[in-house]
Amino acid sequence: MIDWSAIDTVLLDMDGTLLDLHFDNYFWLCHLPHRHAEHHGLDLDESKRLLNQRFLEKRGTLDWYCLDYWDRELTLDVRQLKEEVQHLIAERPHAIDFLQQLKTAGKQRILITNAHPKSLDLKLALTGIGDHLDRIISSHQYRAPKESPLFWQALLGDIGFDATRTLFIDDSDAVLDAAHCFGIRHLCCIHQPDSQQQSRYSGRFPAIDHFDDIFPAPADFELAPSCTAVKRHG
């Protein structure tokens, strides 16, 4: 259970948290290797091997999330390839209801994502989450991924939140570790980020199945102060 009276700001990840991670896993592990193999005249196994090697080299860095970087490295239009399977982009259960509940409870709702702006724009255009957020921030704005303390320092300077009264929900242990080291007091993980795969929950952080597990209670609406609006980006 979450003590909503102790929380003013809710930071939310996008892929695997508000949105089903199935799209991203399918794209990077299945669709892109096929298109990469066709483009470069490779068999599929060789394409997957080469891509996996490159992904591992960049994992946890901003380049790993950067569509412009992969456009150059693979000589492909990655955003265009994503559009070929955009029908797989979907909100996770109760995501919109949760965001609406947070607004009613007077909580500041801020999306923080490692997604590149080109990918972010595509997903916002195809889902309803953007209309239910007070601020949308890509780590590319700060030139540092969420795994880096530089991201959290930049975020604090940008929006001025109180880390002791902030809840952060993400599906990545590495990102939650970085938030914990920075001093975010309330942390929550997602049991099953990809609806088509088994749970990958490590047990290191409190976790939920779906957002209805932590909906604020009616009493939280009555006690919550009004949240000062902040300018949305994106």
Q: What is the dihedral of CA 160, 168, 228, 127, to 10 degrees?
A: 120
Joined tokens for residue 8:
């003013």
Enumerate the H helices of the chain as residue ranges. 22-26, 32-40, 44-58, 62-65, 67-74, 78-84, 95-104, 117-126, 149-159, 173-182, 218-223
- CA distance linking residue 166 with residue 6, whole number of Å: 8
> Can you give the pLDDT at residue 4?
95
pLDDT tens-digit profile of 30-76? 999 999 999 999 999 999 999 999 999 999 899 999 999 999 999 99
| Entry pTM | 0.91
Could you tell me which residues come within 8 angstroms of residue 126 by beta carbon, excluding any fewer than 6 positions away? 86, 89
The domains found in the chain, sorted by start residue, are: 4-20+91-223 (3.40.50.1000), 23-87 (no CATH)
- CA distance linking residue 130 with residue 35, whole number of Å: 30
Question: What pLDDT band is residue 217 in, cutting at 50, 70 and 90?
Answer: confident
